[in-house]
Amino acid sequence: MKLHYYPGCTLKDKTTGLDISTREAMKRLDVELVEPDGWTCCGAEYPLTGEKIAGLAAPIRVLRQVRDEGGDIVVTTCSFCYSVLKRSNKALRDDPVKRKRINAFLRDDIQIDPLTKERTTGFADYNGEVQVLHLLEYLRDRVGFPRVRERIKRDLGMLPVAAYYGCRLLRPKEEMGFDEPDSPHLFEEFLEAVGCAAVDYPFKQECCGSYLAVSMPDAATEASYRVLRSAKMNGARAITVTCPLCFYNLDHRQETIKTAYLDFAGLPVLFFTQLLAWALGVDKALLGLGDHKVPADALFVERPAPEVRT
């Protein structure tokens, strides 16, 4: 089956391993991912002022394109993209004034056919028809974790992995609806479905420092250290993320973290789709492990899949 998929900008440049492993994994679950035609950046941040709604234009334009292509669901893996698309969609559904204003703004869009150069305008109003899902939600609710288990080709050997939610997936609760912010479990259920042992630890919902990596790098170093140290102290051999920025802070900053905190020896950081793809039989060369600053190859060991009990 075909499914609309919004990769977002970072997956096309800095974290291609997340994009490629996502595509390869979903192929093995009989899902063909289709990008909305002509998609653009979602804006990366949801507008924080209710009066200035111009920031809604980019994400709503993406969702309208999915609708116009016949889709009623769009999935994404990036936590930032997921947050912006989902919150924008809810704002449009819930607020008739914003819905009217943003549709009026987008009505004059021009679309140019790449072959005929024909110019098209007069797009129909978008009223929130598309459902925005994170890939973890889609795997649980549409594919089903039992089906994922049935397709497993490699045994991950109950590898102890810590799920890192970060600050974008879970909050605001009433807008995201991803999981219970204070006691989430969806990510852990995914890890168990692919053959890992989910490690519980107290910092899985804490921020890694996010954009402070640019403006206040020492603060980001400290925040990331706390997350990594907490996961390692609770027995994790790796930590897994959905967010490209979390990956950067937790993986690419580890040399800086080791210099600042001599008690920290390092911890591999993985995208959740790399674990999924490997378990489903995807070749290691397609996982994008070469982009990791902390080597993770040793975690991916060839083992036959365990027998699935029904």
Tell me, yes or no, whether 170 and 262 share the same domain: yes
The yes-or-no verdict on residue 213 having pLDDT over 90 is no
The yes-or-no verdict on residue 126 having pLDDT over 90 is yes
Tell me, yes or no, whether 28 and 125 share the same domain: yes
Domain for residue 145, yes or no?
A: no
Question: What's the total number of domains in the chain?
Answer: 2
User: How wide is the angle at C-alpha 288 spanned by C-alphas 286 and 289, nearest 5°?
Assistant: 115
CATH number, residue 196: 3.40.50.11810
Q: Write the pLDDT tens digit of every residue in 130-170.
A: 999 999 999 999 999 999 999 999 999 999 999 999 999 99
Q: Write the pLDDT tens digit of every residue in 25-39.
A: 999 999 999 999 999
Q: Write the pLDDT tens digit of every residue in 277-287.
A: 999 999 999 99
Q: Quote the domain boundaries for residue 67.
A: 2-132
Tell me, yes or no, whether 238 and 188 share the same domain: yes
Tell me, yes or no, whether 266 and 179 share the same domain: yes
Predicted confidence at residue 47, as pLDDT, reads: 87
CATH number, residue 44: 1.20.1050
Tell me, yes or no, whether 108 and 160 share the same domain: no
Domain for residue 144, yes or no?
A: no
DSSP reduced 3-state for 170:
coil
Tell me, yes or no, whether 223 and 272 share the same domain: yes
Domain for residue 125, yes or no?
A: yes
Tell me, yes or no, whether 167 and 286 share the same domain: yes
What is the pTM assigned to this prediction?
0.94
Confidence of residue 14 (pLDDT cuts 50, 70, 90): confident
Tell me, yes or no, whether 104 and 169 share the same domain: no
Tell me, yes or no, whether 9 and 115 share the same domain: yes
Domain for residue 147, yes or no?
A: no
Predicted confidence at residue 239, as pLDDT, reads: 98
Tell me, yes or no, whether 116 and 161 share the same domain: no
Domain for residue 196, yes or no?
A: yes
Do the Cβ atoms of 160 and 275 come closer than 8 Å? no
* Helix 57-68 and helix 96-106, axial crossing angle in degrees, nearest 10: 80
Domain for residue 140, yes or no?
A: no
Q: Which residues of 119-158 are buried (b: 16+ CB within 10 A; e: fewer)?
A: eeeebeebebebbbbbbbbbbbeebebeebbebbebbbee
Q: Write the pLDDT tens digit of every residue in 285-310.
A: 999 999 999 999 999 998 877 766 55
Domain for residue 77, yes or no?
A: yes
Q: 């420092």: which residue's tokens?
A: 209
User: To the nearest whole percent, how much of the chain has pLDDT over 90?
Assistant: 85
Q: Write the pLDDT tens digit of every residue in 81-100.
A: 999 999 999 999 999 999 99
Domain for residue 148, yes or no?
A: no
